[in-house]
Amino acid sequence: MRALPYLLVLAAALALPYVSNDYWTLIASRAAIYWVLVSGLNLVVGFAGQLAIGWVALLTLGAYTASVLVAGTVTPAVPPYLALVAAGCVGAVFGVVIGLPALRLRTFYFAMTTLGFATIVTQVALAWQSVTGGGIGVSGPVLPAPFQTGRGFYWFCLGLAALCTWMTANVAHSRFGRALVALRDAEVAAEACGIAKGRLLVTIFLFSGALAAIAGGLFATLQSYITPDAFTFDLSVGS
């Protein structure tokens, strides 16, 4: 019964391309990308209790990493799938960078740290014109067949969203997830019981950062062309 809501959503998502037009398929692709982003963020905010409002920074990093690697601006051109993997690795690293202050800061103060990091990333993307194109922007990746079409890209995003949901649900219902909830609800008691707060938070920020950056690579693919203006504070709060 616990899986029933997920199965209903999946059934509706599978049927959507056959009962709607290309516009709604595009909207559904965007929703699937945000689902990938939020599936990891839910572990950070919902289970670990860390108020991260600047998570759009990792979406931005993933989008630009994938786009720049595929474009061959800095290195020889990289295949789109490999670029998405590289974006995930970059997101994992910077997820830990964002998460380290959580070992000392709480609630509002940690939220301001993540928001400040998001502002820095946006300004770097705007100023580093030789790599990111600055305000002009850079072209997003294009996935090879059979995912280069609107419907094909939707199936790719939907499959990835389903995989991320399965992974995060398993994490949430494991001993690891219960330890996160214990830290969120009673930090001192949890640490007194032997729960390693630092290791847990670093691991969850690493995992969530990787998912956010992969979502960024997909976002760049969907947009076809990205500029710093695409990654706004509204998007950060909405995520």
| Six token digits for residue 118 | 């998001």
- pLDDT, one tens digit per residue, over 150-199 is 899 999 999 999 999 999 988 888 888 888 888 888 878 887 888 888 88
Give CA–CA dist 43/158, Å, rounded.
20
Least confident of 86-95, 106-115, 164-173, 213-222: 106-115
Give CA–CA dist 116/39, Å, rounded.
23
Query: What share of residues in the chain are helix, strand, coil (percent, to 5)?
Result: 75, 0, 20
- The reported pLDDT for the residue numbered 234 is 65
Contact 57, 98 (CB under 8 A): yes
> What's the rounded mean pLDDT across residues 52-78?
88
Give CA–CA dist 49/34, Å, rounded.
20
- pLDDT, one tens digit per residue, over 193-217 is 888 888 888 899 999 999 999 999 9
Using CB atoms within 10 Å of the CB of residue 38, give its burial: 0 to 12 exposed, 13 to 18 middle, 19+ buried.
Answer: buried
